[in-house]
Amino acid sequence: MISAILAHILLCAVAVAIAAAIAVPSALALAERPKFERPLSALLGALYTVPSLALLAVLVRFVGLGDTSVEIALVAYALYAIFRSTVVGIRAIPAEQREVAAALGLPAWRRRLRIELPLAMPAILSGLRIATLGSIALATLGGYVGGGGLGSIVFTGFALQNRTMLVEGALGVVALALLGEFVFRALEFRTQRL
């Protein structure tokens, strides 16, 4: 049980980290260029709307059963929430602040990292929270295609008609989701009261 929880956490943490490493820099670079940002948002949004079981089925066909397929699916779903929330967070910076940032004449990436990223942080954190909660739920489904984590316990419980296993697995998922919610809410609260 403990190892399943840790495996579940690892699956989700890696997925959210990879998705953030892709989505946050892209959003920082593209937030002021709607011409590029809009098609990327549309693409990620389309990916997000693909039913998760269908996506997993396709991935299993090409990547095979196991954690890798689940991980790819988790990243694909996490990208959208993180990308959109970062874009929205940057655009929500008051116009005066953005102008002053521009008027200082900082190089573009220094301006993004020192000014835009921290000011957009509450929105980015809420995107990470949504991505994390989604991942925790979706990773459970991954048990169906041979992924590790709490899903394997739930689906084994199904297969064996073992109610104890089922309930344990399900409670584990709920506990993780609540923990994730709590951690990110706490982080958001801290960044909001600068």
Q: Which residues contact 84 (CB under 8 A, 6 or more apart)?
A: 27, 41, 44, 45, 127
Nearer to another protein among residue 54 and residue 194 (C-beta): 194
Cα 54 to Cα 4: distance, rounded to the nearest angstrom: 24
Nearer to another protein among residue 33 and residue 163 (C-beta): 33
Cα 15 to Cα 58: distance, rounded to the nearest angstrom: 18
Q: Which stretch binds another protein (CB under 8 A): 34-42, 68-76, 91-99, 169-177?
A: 91-99
Cα 9 to Cα 1: distance, rounded to the nearest angstrom: 12
* Cβ neighbourhood burial of 99 (10 Å; 0-12, 13-18, 19+): exposed
Q: Which stretch binds another protein (CB under 8 A): 67-75, 105-113, 164-172, 182-190?
A: 105-113
99 belongs to the binding site for another protein (CB under 8 A): yes
- Total chain residues near another protein (CB under 8 A): 19
Q: Which of 38, 113, 118, 171 binds another protein (CB under 8 A)?
A: 118
Residues found near another protein in the complex (CB under 8 A): 94, 96-97, 99-107, 110, 114-115, 118-119, 121, 194
